[in-house]
Structures are given as structure tokens and as C-alpha cells.
Amino acid sequence: MKILVSVKRVPDPYAKITPSATGADINRDGLQMAVNPFDEIALEEAIRLKEAGKASEVVAVSIGGAESQEQLRTALAMGADRAILVQTDALLDAPSVAKILAAVYQREQPQLVLMGKQAIDMDENQVGQMLAAQLHLPQATFASKITLENGSAIVERETDNGIETIKTPLPAVITADLRLNEPRYVALTGIVRARSKPLETLTPADLGVQVQTRMRLVKVEAPPARKAGKRVSDVHELVRLLREEARVI
């Protein structure tokens, strides 16, 4: 079976992110970019399923400018078989991204779509659910364990109330949470091999998608800072202050 994995180019998770001088965006000077860490986990899961003989092909797809090829090369180096870049410089909102991915799904007809539960730039946590809705597929979000058997996926999901287990027939959309796996480091041989793997470039128009962005980021600012309080010398002073000054116990 074929697995489609979406891969977003985002700032490196360890980079310091600050507002730009105009406040309309973040400061992108010298900013390191990376594969969205949740997508990297989704990709790792897809590659493991292939290595375990449960999947036959892993296709990575990204949407963005030409520079997103870098992240697709990383995906190929990790072990994806081929990659698709839907190239656009338009700023897309989540419904637009879901529409483009839905068109890629129709073209590729995978049995499973895996992606990160959210991207660490906008932190929206929407695209997987919107994609599943548009395609009328079942969904399993926030997966921390995936077991495939007899055309179904048994998925453990991280919810606020604990680990929920659901079973869904395939095809389905599954979004990866942090504890699904630990992605591998890319080996040099993988990087070399990735150069000869196919990377196809399409446009939204090639896929018959007209995107209409209804949501725009117009301002970026630092959150209000919280100032440090006082040091206490022992637990007696602490309890006294919590009772008499803060009045919270």
C-alpha cells in the first residue's frame, strides 16, 4: 500500500524567533529552516511501516516555494521513495492547504495519509482534520501508536483525558503526536541516494485547485513579559507569603 506524508518547511524548532522590524512577520534573516518536527515523526512512521513490509511506497508532499525542495530532499534522505512539491508563493490558510492535499490524494490514491498534528510555526492543528473532512475519510488525530492489520488501523490517541484507542478502516488520515516515535538521523548514504530519487514539481493549477485565502497574519508581537518576583529563604516564609500576601492558600 501507498502512504502519502505531508512535509512542511518551518523555522528550526531550536531557532530564536523574534518579530520583524515592521511587526508584520517574523525576522527571517539567517533563520535556519527544517522539516516540521511533527511531520518528521509522521514520515518516520511511514518509513517504518514500509520497512516492516506493511507499506510498499512512501510519497512525501510539500506545498510552498521552490526552497521547500530542501525539506523534500530531507524526506527522501530519510527513506521516502519519491516527492512532490506543489509550488506556490501564495500565503495559504489551512483550508487552502487541505484542498491542495486533497487534490494530491485524488491523484495518488494512497491508502493512508500521515502528517504531523500541527506545524510548529502557526500551531493551528487543523489541516489533517480538514483534509479528512473534504475527502470524507475517517480520521485519527494525535496518534501515539499505530498498528495496521487487515485493512484497518488501530490508533492510540493522546487526549486530554488519557490514551484513547480507536479503530478505523483504511484509507484514513492519521496525524502524528510527539510520542509516536523518535525520527532517525539521516545517514550520509541516504543523502547521496536521495539525489537520484524523483522529485516532481506541480502547481495548484496543475491540480485544478484555485486557492482562496480568507485568513491572513497581519501582525506579530512578543507576548507580555512576566517579571520575576522574590526569592524566599525557606518553606516557612513561602507558606506565610502564599497565605498573607498572595492569599492563594
Partner 1 sequence: MKILIVAETDGGRVSEKTLPAIAFAQQQSPNNFAILAIGENLQCIETLTGYGAQAVLTVSHPALTKPLAERYAPVIAHHAHQLGADAIVATTTTFSRDVLARTAGLLDAPMLSDIIALESANGKLVAKRPIYSANLIGTFEVEGSPVVMTVRGPAWGKPTPTSAESPVQSAEAPPDIPQRAEWLGLQGGSGGRPDLTQARVVVSGGRPLKDPETFEKYIGGLADALGGAVGATRAAVDSGIAPNELQVGQTGKTVAPELYIAVAVSGSVQHLAGMKDSKVIVAINTDPEAPIFQVADYGLVADLYQVLPELTELVKNSRA
Is residue 181 a contact partner of residue 193, using CB atoms and an 8 Å limit?
Answer: no
Residue 74: Cβ-neighbour burial (10 angstroms; 0-12, 13-18, 19+): buried
Is residue 117 a contact partner of residue 38, using CB atoms and an 8 Å limit?
Answer: yes
- Nearer CB in complex with partner 1: 89/234: 234
Report which of 213, 132, 202, 134 is spatially closest to residue 170, judged by C-alpha positions: 132
60 binds partner 1 (CB under 8 A): no
What is the pattern of x (binds partner 1, CB under 8 A) and - over residues 98-127?
A: x---------------------xxxxxxx-
In the list 1, 178, 191, 211, the residue contacting partner 1 (rule: CB under 8 A) is 178
200 binds partner 1 (CB under 8 A): no
- Could you tell me the smallest distance in angstroms from the CB atom of residue 127 to partner 1? 8
208 binds partner 1 (CB under 8 A): no
21 binds partner 1 (CB under 8 A): no
- Nearer CB in complex with partner 1: 110/128: 128
Residues from 118 through 177 that contact partner 1 (CB under 8 A): 120-126, 128-134, 136, 138-142, 144, 154, 157-169, 172, 177
Helix axes 94-108, 127-135, angle to 10 degrees: 50
- Could you tell me the smallest distance in angstroms from the CB atom of residue 192 to partner 1? 32
- Could you tell me the smallest distance in angstroms from the CB atom of residue 98 to partner 1? 6
192 binds partner 1 (CB under 8 A): no
Q: What are phi and psi of 40, to 5 degrees?
A: -65, -40
Is residue 66 a contact partner of residue 43, using CB atoms and an 8 Å limit?
Answer: no
